[in-house]
Amino acid sequence: MTIQDKNMTMLCDFYELTMGNGYLRCGYKDRITYFDVFFRTIPDKGGFAIAAGLEQVIDYIENLHFSKEDIAYLRGRKLFDEEFLTYLESFQFTGDIYAVPEGTPIFPQEPILTVRAPAIQAQLIETFLLLALNHQSLIATKANRIVRAAEGRTVLEFGSRRAQGADGAINGARAAYIGGCAGTACTISDQLYGVRASGTMAHAWVQMFESQFEAFKAYCEIYPHNAVLLVDTYDTLKSGIPDAIRAFDTVLKPLGIQKCGIRLDSGDMAFLTKQARKMLDEAGWTQCQISVSNSLDEYLIQDLLWQGAKIDMFGVGERMITARSEPVFGGVYKLVAIEEADGTITPKIKISENVTKITTPHFKKVYRLYGNESGKAIADYICVHDETIDMSKPLRLFDPEAIWKTKDVTNFTARELMVPIFRNGKLVYQKPSLPEIQRYCLEQVDTLWDEVKRFDNPHQYYVDLSQKLWDIKYDLLKNHGR
């Protein structure tokens, strides 16, 4: 059910094992390497993404081991040296990991997680790190867009039945909560992570009774303090809402209960919710909330609100849990440096004819610059690991869309984004609670300018390299990475 219950060590690409065996054969088993996780493009052509999935990475690293069955399987493939299999029998992670906290707004080409570890260890964890971070960052990013479109109205995640598998549903609900959702329909995500699960009825409940009114009345009697009635089984305006009002009057009014709700799952939501609001208010149910569902996303929600729809809550399913509009988060895992026996760090680069696939070498750290007057994020600044920023002096940045244009930043505060997670294989990070992660995400998104948060044609946020790092990268490019 969770990482603690399953050994996920064998969830790796097979080449990680063949390379590990090769590293041992070549004498590289203990060579210290540096790998970066970063992504190249923002889903939905947005202005930023949201980092998520770190907690699952932590659980995975803490539980890394090869079982006897795993070793037997690998031996049966007749590809691996016995020395390598013996090494795997006592395998554990002994390296360092640095990462941005979950909920952090992130941008292309900057490291969001860095691994410093012996070559075999660093290589073997590639697949799980990417799948955990890619999946949850994708869903958290989509959820955040949808929540922002709702303009303060409640958004619930309703997508379990359309998710790609059980883990997609469970961890997807977790990621959606980080992105800003108030809860989920997925009960097990509440049980495991505390993502508040809620729900009322499906159309089957209404169909089960002799009449719609009897179905509504029975539900109000069973759940008087959670009476949310689905009013579109037959005819929303002619019978659905009138029968709901009648059930509220019959059951809730004598109990003095004014809090209740209706849900719509079909039809013209803008028109129907405006009519529903009028009918409910005229009947005295002014506190009755109106919720809607049915293949919603940020653009449909935005359009509904622009049209004056009277909606208090949105239930969003498949288009959130699958990030249907762009269902891949392109995070990659690339070698950026190796450490010599004397401690010297040698930068490494990958070169491609596709410019976006050229990596930024070296062991790095990332600063986020905030304007002292506005409190808003100005830019991210990627440095070599041993660099610091002098905040008393102007800092020159290059425009990401036109490198011949520069911008001098003054009166700013610089904050390192990545924090230590593991040192020498030991967890040194205090994992925050999920509500704390959600609050942090909300606070950090609020530091971004509205222009960066636009859904369409957002302003491109500055992500720049220090002069020292650029010189190292240019020198490696000039010498073809050798």
Which pTM was predicted? 0.95
Domain boundaries, the chain: 3-139+327-478, 140-321
| Greater model confidence, 4 or 406 | 406
Provide the pLDDT for residue 479. 85
Provide the pLDDT for residue 258. 96
Which CATH number is correct for 3-139+327-478, 3.20.140.10, 3.40.50.2020, 1.10.260.30, 3.30.70.270?
3.20.140.10
**In the predicted model, what is the mean pLDDT of residues 440-458?**
97
Provide the pLDDT for residue 482. 54
Does domain 140-321 correspond to CATH entry 3.40.50.1820?
A: no
Q: What is the pLDDT of residues 157-191, one digit of tens each?
A: 999 999 999 999 999 999 999 999 999 999 999 99
Provide the pLDDT for residue 9. 94
Using the predicted structure, report yes or no on whether residue 21 has a pLDDT greater than 90: yes
Using the predicted structure, report yes or no on whether residue 5 has a pLDDT greater than 80: no
Using the predicted structure, report yes or no on whether residue 1 has a pLDDT greater than 50: no
For residue 355 the two structure tokens come to: 């410019």
